[in-house]
């Protein structure tokens, strides 16, 4: 079945909120067994709409969804009479810094993982839905308009663009999503998720999957002021043929059986990190700040936290055939204890293969733990140090099982410690190393304390 939002009263190109007409079209299509809900050319202001099983939201050519500027317009899911949220998916908890939540016990999990929490509001929602899709044609846009919410995360973030919990067989394809108040895609505890041919611009995290399985991210252009691809405890993930630029981490990711290949990653980013905007700039929904930064902090930041139990030990992370330029560091694993988002075990192994990395400032930080001594492999890596950082080691490591370099070339390096280590027992080996530091003389035991800025 195919219906149009116009047939249910939606009126394009005005400032009136059209949530009711959109939801009526979705609900009627759902009642009749599922199908396609079409959005014709024009602009439509919406709060939150809920997709249901077997529904495709089809944004036709030049269809534009604009987020309502009133945060109160994104709470309709709590009043849903067709598929009421179960009690365990509802909470009145408000935003608070993670530290106090964790000290009080449990509140942080409610805040992040209850589909009905205030933080999980968004323009397009899905909960316990199967076989759903958001498809866009040429010129289709989802614009969150940088909605400001003093009651939101960090007292300024507004709704997500698309937010889903416990869903299966979900496809996102073809549209541009920009200026979301919080993450562009926030997908939790879901399975068989496909992102394809998407453009994500500005805003916060582009594609964030948390505790998801069978995830595919292909042919996407992700240019954001926050992390581009983020999440942890993800199983069986492929990221392929993507253009990525971030003012935080290109990847802040973790899980098991993750393949990243054929991607181009570059910094600095066109867009700035909105967390550094002034309060006045956030309220005004400004797109540029005189004080905010846009440097890429890290190419790959390993993400693990103990606010959810890991379903499977993290590992088998392979990054290959990628070009990276202009990142402050290439790898960030920091389990030394000073980062809230780095609590738990490191991956059993991570491999960089066929990598061209240029203009990197501080190399690879890899501080693990004694419980799981990780293995780090660099194979056929061309690495050049950014100007002004020539003495920085390639790798700073602790609590590892093995570090293995095969056919690694390091350019513009003038230091005396290519690899610095802060622990005993790990094996370091190199074959085909091209660098000013000779084979067998490139590992130095650090005398100073380990220092790593949180990312």
Q: Are 85 and 48 in contact (CB under 8 A)?
A: no
Query: Mean pLDDT throughout 120-148?
Result: 98
Given pLDDT bands bounded at 50, 70 and 90, which one contains residue 417?
confident
Q: Is residue 301 part of a domain?
A: yes
Query: Mean pLDDT throughout 392-401?
Result: 96
CA torsion angle 250 254 258 259 (round to 10) = 20
Of all residues in the chain, what percent carry a pLDDT higher than 90?
A: 86
Written as six digits, the tokens of 261 are 């290949």
Question: In whole angstroms, what is the distance from residue 330 CA to residue 250 CA?
Answer: 10
Q: Determine the pLDDT at residue 438.
A: 57
Q: Determine the pLDDT at residue 436.
A: 75
Q: Determine the pLDDT at residue 112.
A: 87
Q: Determine the pLDDT at residue 187.
A: 98
Q: Determine the pLDDT at residue 235.
A: 98
Q: Are 365 and 452 in contact (CB under 8 A)?
A: yes
Q: Is residue 182 part of a domain?
A: no
Question: In whole angstroms, what is the distance from residue 423 CA to residue 163 CA?
Answer: 42
pLDDT exceeds 80 at position 99 = no
Written as six digits, the tokens of 67 are 């987020």
Please indicate, yes or no, whether the overall pTM of this predicted structure exceeds 0.85: yes
Question: In whole angstroms, what is the distance from residue 455 CA to residue 442 CA?
Answer: 27
Give the residue among 437, 436, 365 at the shortest CA–CA distance from 403: 365
Lowest mean pLDDT among 209-213, 227-231, 416-420: 416-420
Q: Is residue 372 part of a domain?
A: yes
Query: Mean pLDDT throughout 310-320?
Result: 95
Q: Is residue 123 part of a domain?
A: no
Q: Determine the pLDDT at residue 96.
A: 77
| Cis preceding-peptide flag for 171 (omega within 30 of 0) | no
pLDDT exceeds 80 at position 360 = yes
Q: Are 408 and 434 in contact (CB under 8 A)?
A: yes
Given pLDDT bands bounded at 50, 70 and 90, which one contains residue 103?
low
Given pLDDT bands bounded at 50, 70 and 90, which one contains residue 415?
confident
- Map residue 82 onto helix, strand or coil: coil
Q: Is residue 245 part of a domain?
A: no
Please identify which residue in the block is written with the tokens 């630029």.
Answer: 245
Written as six digits, the tokens of 417 are 């410690």
Q: Is residue 400 part of a domain?
A: yes
pLDDT exceeds 70 at position 437 = no
Using CA atoms, how far residue 443 sits from 260, 396, 411, in Å, is 29, 10, 17
Q: Is residue 50 part of a domain?
A: no
Question: In whole angstroms, what is the distance from residue 366 CA to residue 356 CA?
Answer: 19
Question: In whole angstroms, what is the distance from residue 69 CA to residue 90 CA?
Answer: 24
Count of beta carbons in the 10 Å neighbourhood of residue 392: 20
Count structural domains, the chain. Answer: 1
For the four alpha carbons of 281, 285, 289 and 292, in that order, the dihedral sign comes to positive
Q: Is residue 106 part of a domain?
A: no
Question: In whole angstroms, what is the distance from residue 356 CA to residue 409 CA?
Answer: 10
Lowest mean pLDDT among 40-54, 148-162, 343-357, 426-440: 426-440
Give the residue numbers spanning the domain of 378.
297-455
pLDDT exceeds 70 at position 115 = yes
Q: Determine the pLDDT at residue 304.
A: 87
Q: Determine the pLDDT at residue 60.
A: 98
pLDDT exceeds 90 at position 341 = no
Average pLDDT, the chain: 94
For the four alpha carbons of 281, 230, 221 and 37, in that order, the dihedral sign comes to negative
Count of beta carbons in the 10 Å neighbourhood of residue 151: 13
Question: In whole angstroms, what is the distance from residue 51 CA to residue 75 CA?
Answer: 14
Q: Is 424 exposed, middle or buried (0-12, 13-18, 19+ CB in 10 A)?
A: exposed
Q: Is 365 exposed, middle or buried (0-12, 13-18, 19+ CB in 10 A)?
A: buried
Query: Mean pLDDT throughout 88-97?
Result: 85
């Amino acid at each position: 079945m195919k219906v149009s939002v116009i047939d249910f009263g939606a009126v394009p190109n005005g400032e009136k909120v059209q949530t009711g007409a959109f939801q009526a079209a979705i609900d009627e299509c759902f009642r009749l067994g599922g199908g396609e809900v079409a959005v014709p050319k024009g602009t439509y202001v919406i709060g939150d709409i809920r997709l249901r099983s077997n529904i495709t939201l089809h944004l036709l050519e030049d269809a534009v969804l604009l987020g309502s500027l009133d945060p109160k317009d994104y709470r309709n899911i709590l009043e849903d009479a067709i598929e009421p949220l179960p009690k365990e998916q509802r909470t009145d908890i408000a935003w608070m810094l993670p530290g106090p939540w964790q000290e009080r016990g449990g509140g942080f999990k409610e805040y992040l993982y209850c589909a009905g929490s205030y933080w999980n509001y968004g323009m397009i929602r899905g909960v316990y839905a199967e076989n759903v899709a958001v498809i866009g044609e040429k010129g289709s846009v989802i614009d969150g308009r940088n909605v400001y919410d003093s009651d939101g995360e960090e007292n300024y973030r507004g709704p997500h663009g698309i937010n889903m919990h416990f869903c299966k067989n979900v496809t996102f394809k073809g549209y541009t999503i920009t200026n979301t108040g919080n993450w562009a895609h926030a997908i939790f505890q879901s399975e068989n998720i496909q992102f394809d041919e998407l453009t994500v611009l500005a805003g916060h995290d582009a594609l964030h999957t948390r505790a998801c399985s069978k995830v595919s991210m292909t042919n996407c252009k992700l240019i954001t002021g926050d992390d581009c691809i983020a999440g942890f405890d993800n199983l069986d993930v492929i990221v392929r043929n993507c253009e990525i630029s971030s003012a935080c981490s290109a990847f802040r990711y973790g899980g098991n059986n993750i393949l990243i290949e054929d991607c181009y990653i570059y910094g600095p980013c066109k867009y700035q990190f909105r967390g550094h905007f002034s309060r006045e700039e956030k309220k005004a929904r400004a797109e540029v700040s005189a004080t905010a930064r846009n440097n890429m902090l890290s190419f790959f930041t390993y993400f693990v936290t103990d606010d959810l139990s890991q379903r499977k030990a993290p590992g088998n992370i392979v990054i290959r055939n990628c070009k990276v330029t202009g990142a402050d560091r290439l790898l960030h694993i920091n389990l030394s204890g000073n980062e809230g988002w780095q609590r738990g075990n490191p991956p059993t192994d991570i491999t960089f293969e066929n990598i061209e990395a240029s203009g990197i400032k501080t190399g690879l930080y890899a501080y693990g733990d004694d419980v799981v001594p990780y293995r780090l492999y660099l194979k056929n890596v061309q690495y050049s140090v950014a100007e002004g950082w020539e003495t920085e080691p390639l790798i700073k490591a602790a609590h590892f099982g093995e570090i293995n370099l095969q056919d690694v070339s390091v350019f513009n390096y003038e230091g005396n410690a290519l690899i610095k280590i802060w622990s005993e027992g790990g094996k370091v080996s190199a074959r085909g190393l091209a660098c000013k530091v000779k084979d067998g003389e490139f590992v130095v035991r650090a005398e100073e304390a380990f220092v790593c800025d949180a990312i």
